[in-house]
Structure 1
Amino acid sequence: MFHQLYLYGGVCLALLLTGCDKKPEGQVAAVVNGDEITLQEINAEVGTVDIPEGVDKKVVQQAALQRILERRLLAQSAREEDLDKTPEYLIRSRQLDDSLLVQLLGKKAERTFKVPDQKAIDKYMSENSTMFAGRKIFAIDRIQFPFPADMEQLKSLEDDHSMEAVASKLNNLGIKFQRGPAQIDSAQLGQKRLDQIRALPDGEPFVIPEKGLVTVAVITGETAVSSEGKDMAPMAMQAMRNQELAKSLQERLKQAKAKGDIKYQPRFAPPADGKAKAGDTAAK
């Protein structure tokens, strides 16, 4: 038994010494229980915050290092409690990993985009006036609630032609909601969606299911946003890049679906006609 304990202790000591052998030098700014924190990690952390002019870069880096160090210590504590082996961690880790890879794929695609000329920029601004010269801030009467378990319930709202009728229907369905005044930017709506809303009869609610929330609203007022003295070209260029990026990723997704081996459990299969999916944006 003593011999076994001695050997075990020797293994532990060897592992500890291996960790202790790591030194904070070169590209390694610090070592936390044998885990290295590199200059690249610090610079990535610094890149997520706005640094005021005149601030000492060294001070900012030191503060970033402390944030990483504290986060790393807490993460190590979580691993000691085997939280990294729980189903919740594994699911969230996969979500974050997927999101990061999609983000990096987008950045790679952006590097291939050509800079639009002034003629193209002027044309885009003209076709999307809600974002530029014709931009407005709308006052709205808004009802909001999370996606219901059964998205088919939203179809029943098509028969409601006032906010009071919508509120009454939601109460009857047992769907909890919040209602109150709010504002919405025409630049966020986009030209196509705004045109759909403008085409509705006065007082007719529009419905936008998006990002896990359903918004039902009517416009109660509007204020023009002055663009005098502002150069709108950079905003237009960024919007054009975002549009190109969305198209690029949708094309990549289409190709991936076409060649992918995807199998569904019957009750989770998408509609055969490809119609309305939860989360699609629409104006009633």
Structure 2
Amino acid sequence: MKYRGHIIGVVCMAMLAAGCDKKPEGQVAAVVNGDEITLKEINAEIGTANIPEGADSKEIQKAALQRIVERRLLAQAAQEDGLDKTPEFLIRSRQVNDALLVQLLGQRAEKSFQVPDQAAIDKFMADNPSMFAGRKMYVVDRIQFALPADMSKLKSLESSHSMEEVAAQLNSLGIKFERGPAKMDSAQLGQQRLNQILALPSGEPFVIPENGMVTVAIITGESPLVGNKAEMAQMATQALRRQALGKTLEDRLKQARAKGDIKYQPEFAPKNSAKLGGNVAS
């Protein structure tokens, strides 16, 4: 075993030499310290960039390749400094990989979707007038604040039946908020949420908790937003595709959760989501 260190050194040198022997040919556009950069990588770098008409595609590829080369050199320098072994890198790497895999899963599912026929499009448009024939831009008096850590605080908003009462209640709770006029597109609200809002008595605030924020508002004005038939049909097709994709991913998640082995520390175990009081439009 006294030659072990020597053998390891020879193997490492052989591997380094093998990397240096790689040549940029065929589908390999460049080699950076033994690391190949392929034409596929270049095309992915260019992506869906809006290339000017008449532009030299080869020059665009060269510019994209240089960006990759420079990024690869800096990445290799970071590896030399050991940054790829740090906890921060490992955590971020897992986040990026997970997000990319989910994105690719969705893209693969989208490829299997069939274009909805006219009957399906017409039915969707009839079932969701807030997005199509009945689409409106609403002017609202809006209060917004960050979702509090203690959700029970929002329970007190149930007794608030005007924007002034909501503001007073938030002030009493020490919750900072912003208030002012804003606009809401009925197509973004969605039909179910809009139905809940329109069912409220006039002047009664509605509550929308979303993306870490809480919106409390009342409608103060409206104007129609109607597109042409072709635009609405395209919107309906896109919405149906998003709906189908959401259903596919939801089903896959249910399957994965059912057969998955998930263990939690007691304090991190999920609980039933607390429901907000008041007129929550979810």
SS in 2 for 1:283: coil
Measured at CA, do residues 79 and 219 of structure 1 come closer, stay the same or move farther in structure 2, by a change above 3 Å? farther
Counterpart residue number, 2:207: 207
Q: Distance in 2 between matches of 1:70 and 1:173?
A: 53
1:216-256: per-residue Cα shift (whole Å, max 9, x none)?
A: 33333222223136432222111101101111111121222
Looking at structure 1, the residues matched to 19 and 248 of structure 2 have their Cα atoms a distance apart, in angstroms, of 45
Match of 1:28 in 2: 28
2: CA distance, partners of 1:81 / 1:167: 53
SS of the counterpart of 2:102?
helix
2:256 corresponds in structure 1 to 256
User: Could you tell me which residue of structure 1 aligns to residue 65 of structure 2?
Assistant: 65
Q: 1:77 to 1:190 in 2, by over 3 A?
A: same
What residue number does 2:281 align with?
283
1:92: Cα distance to partner? 2.2
Moved more, 185-194 or 7-16: 7-16
1:53-78 CA-partner distances (Å, limit 9, x unpaired): 44333233233223323332333333
Change over 3 Å in CA distance of 1:52–1:234 after alignment to 2: farther
Contact 2:151-2:274 at 8 Å conserved across structures: no
Task: Give how far 1:125 is off.
Answer: 0.9
Q: Tell me which residue corresponds to 1:144.
A: 144
Alignment match, 2:270? 270
Match of 2:124 in 1: 124
Q: Judge which range, 163-172 or 219-228, deviates more.
A: 163-172
Please state whether the residue corresponding to 1:231 is helix, strand or coil: helix
Provide structure 1 residue ranges, at least 5 long, that are not aligned to the other structure: none
- Structure 1 pair 6/261, CA: closer, same or farther in 2 (3 Å)? closer
Change (3 A) 1:135 1:62: farther
Worse-matched range after superposition: 97-106 or 70-79: 70-79
CA offset digits 1:72-101 (Å, max 9, x no partner): 233333333333233332222222211211
The letter of the residue matching 1:124 is F
**Does 1:223 find its partner at 2:197?**
no
1:40 counterpart residue number? 40
Alignment gaps of 5+ in structure 2: none
Alpha-carbon spacing, 1:185–1:67, altered in 2? closer, same or farther (3 Å): farther
Mapped to 1, the partners of 2:139 and 2:111 lie a distance apart of: 38
SS across alignment from 1:104 = helix
With over 3 angstroms needed to count, the CA separation of the structure-2 counterparts of 1:223 and 1:64, relative to structure 1, is: farther
CA root-mean-square deviation: 3.1
Which amino acid in 2 is paired with 1:283?
Answer: A
Query: How far does the alpha carbon of each residue in 1:163-218 deviate from its partner, in whole angstroms, 9 at most, with x for none?
Result: 33333433444444333333222111111111111112233332222223333333
TM-score (norm 2): 0.83
Report the Cα distance in structure 1 between the residues aligned to 2:108 and 2:176, rounded to whole angstroms.
Answer: 42
State how many pairs are aligned. Answer: 277
1:248, 1:125 → 2: CA distance?
22
- Partner residue, 1:247: 247
Q: Report the AA paired with residue 180 of structure 2.
A: G
Q: SS in structure 1 opposite 2:231? A: coil
- Of all paired residues, the percent bearing the same amino acid is 68
CA distance in 2, matches of 1:31, 1:79: 17
Query: For the residues of structure 2 that align with 1:36 and 1:265, how far apart are their CA atoms?
Result: 44
